[in-house]
Amino acid sequence: MDIQNVRRMRAVSAQRLENAPQAERIALLYAGISMGLHALVAVIDWLLSRQVDAAVGLSGMGTRTIFQALQTMLPVVLPLITMCLDVGYLAAMLRIARRQYASPNTLRLGFDRFWVLLRLMLVRGVIFTVIGFACMYIGISIYLMTPLAEPVMELLMPLVQDASILSGGLVIDDATYTQLLSAMAPAFLICGGIFLVAAVPVLFQYRMAEYVVVDKPALGAIAAMRESRKMLRGNWIRLLRLDFGQWWYYLAIGAANVVCYGDRILPLLHVELPWSADVSYYLFYFAYLLMMMGIYWLLRNRVEVTYALAYEEMRPKEPSGGAVLGNIFQM
C-alpha cells in the first residue's frame, strides 16, 4: 500500500473501522477522558487561584506557597497523564489497523510504558531545545548583519549611552520595550524560518517512536527513536504528503484553537463582551474543549488508523505479521 495514495488509505481505514465494533466506544472514552482531564485541571487551577487570593498577609504566606506550588505542578502532571492516554489510544488504533481485537482496556497500555515514554519525551525535548537555541543564535546573527537591525540599534543606542552603574544599568521602559518587540519582528521570522527548516526533518524522523514503543515493549527510548529514524529514512516527505491529505482534520483542530483564544481575538476586532475577562477566558476554553471532544470522537479514529496503516507500510516486515499489543487484559 502506497502511503502517498491518501484516498486509498482512507478507504482502507474506513473499512477497518467498520469491522471494529469497539472503535467508536474507544474514541468516545478517549475523548471524554482527555477533555475531562483538561476541564478538571482548569477548575482546580481556578479554585487554587481563589485560595491564593484569599490567603493575605504574613499569616497566609505558607498557605499561598503551598497553593502556588500545586498550581505549578498542574501543567507538569497533565501532559504526563495525557501522554500515556494518547499512546494507549494509538495502540488501540494500531490494533484496529491490523484487524486485531481492541477494547477500551487498550487505553491503559500507555501507562504500562510510562517510564519509556517519559524518557522518550525528555530526550526529544532536549534535542529540540538544542536545535531551537542553535537556530536562534544563527537567526540573530543573520539579523544583526542585515539592515533589518538598524531600527533596533537606533532604539538601543540612546539607552546604552545613558546607562551607568549609578542608574542601575540599562533601563527599558514599557513603551520602548513594545517598540523593540515590533522592530525585532523580522528577527523572530528569520529564527522561526530556520527552526522550521532544521526541526521539521528531525520531527518526522522520530514520529514513529511511539508506535515502536507500543509494538516492541522490550526496546528503550533511544532504541525506539533509532528504529523510527530507520523507518523514516527517505519516507518523511511521503509522510508529510499524507499529513496534507488529512487537511480537513487539522483544519477542524485549527478552528477549535481559534475558539480557544476567542477572548483575545475578539478585543482585537473591537468586539466587547458583556462580562469579565475571567468569564470570557473560561467560556471560550470550555467551548474549545467541547469542540475538541467532538473532533476526537467523530474524526480522529479515521486519521489515526490511517497513520497506523502508514506505520505498517514503513516498518520492517516480520514473519509473524505483527506483534500482539499487550496481554489479554489490555485488549
Judge whether 155 and 183 are in contact, CB under 8 Å: yes
Task: Name 196's Cβ contacts closer than 8 Å, sequence gap at least 6.
Answer: none
Distances (CA, A) of 164 to 159, 170, 171, 176, 209: 10, 8, 10, 18, 53
Residue 164 has pLDDT above 70, yes or no: no
Task: Name 2's Cβ contacts closer than 8 Å, sequence gap at least 6.
Answer: 8, 313
How much is the pLDDT for 5? Answer: 77
| Grid cell listed for 184 | 525585532
Q: What is the pLDDT of residues 193-220, one digit of tens each?
A: 999 888 888 888 899 999 999 999 888 9
**Residue whose C-alpha cell reads 477542524 in the numeric block:** 252
* Packing angle of the helix pair 277-298, 23-54 (nearest 10 deg): 160
How much is the pLDDT for 86? Answer: 95
CA 115 to mean position of chain CA atoms:
19
In sign, the C-alpha dihedral spanning 233, 238, 244, 246 is: negative
Q: Residues 1-27: what's their mean pLDDT?
A: 86
Boundaries of every domain in the chain = 9-317
Q: What is the pLDDT of residues 257-291, one digit of tens each?
A: 999 998 888 888 888 888 888 888 999 999 999 99
